[in-house]
Amino acid sequence: MEQNKKVKLIELGLIDYKEAWDFQEKLFNEIIELKIENRNTDQPNLTPNYLITCQHPHVYTLGKSGKEDHLLIDDQELEHKDAKFYKINRGGDITYHGPGQLVVYPIIDLDNFFTDIHLYMRCLEEAVIKTCADYNLNAGRIEGLTGVWLSEPYPRKICAMGVKSSRWVTMHGLALNVNTDLNYFGNIVPCGIDDKAVTSIQQEIGKEIDMKGVEKVLVSHLAEVFGMQIF
């Protein structure tokens, strides 16, 4: 079957987490329905791909394999911090999203690229590693842990990842700390790992970073790593 490398970039700006989640689900389900229809026709239609970029107001999300006690504050404290909490259908444990954090949700059909979810995760990581390098940060991986890390002089996570896939269609994605208020991570056990720190590009460089600039760089590296044609 012919592959569609074209990927539509959708920039949502600052958007409520649940609103973005519902939008993801809509696109995700539409692609899956088209794939099911294609199985029953002699003239299949190309499946579309989307790359959503956004930021969220303060929110904590818990993946399917996470533990609720990794959220260290109660409902009253959540309200005081103007934060929300959702249990969601991605992999992984608990994480934080907030202003100053670049969130990217690839809603893509991996049949258009490669059908290997582990390779998919490594490619997401590689695009972030290349982005960090453009800001003179030596980022990489830690064996056995998902995401992107700075290892010297001690391990600290700069980008969290959690995805869902069905029929090789993906949703959810990555969250790169750019100008993120890292104090909010103090209210959780980030990704269920209690002995690793969290950082941001701003924290490492010592100055506020242009969010649109980081977005442009990361999207460019995603296109390069996956062979996407962004439009």
What are the start-end ranges of the H helices in 39-89? 75-80
The Cβ-side half-sphere exposure at 62, using a 13 Å CA radius, reads 14
**Residue 68: Cβ within 10 Å count:** 9
Catalytic residue numbers read 191
Name the nearest CA neighbour of 157 among 63, 94, 90.
94
CB 171, CB 109: distance < 8 Å: no
User: Alpha-carbon distance 53 to 225, whole Å?
Assistant: 17
3-state secondary structure of 153: coil
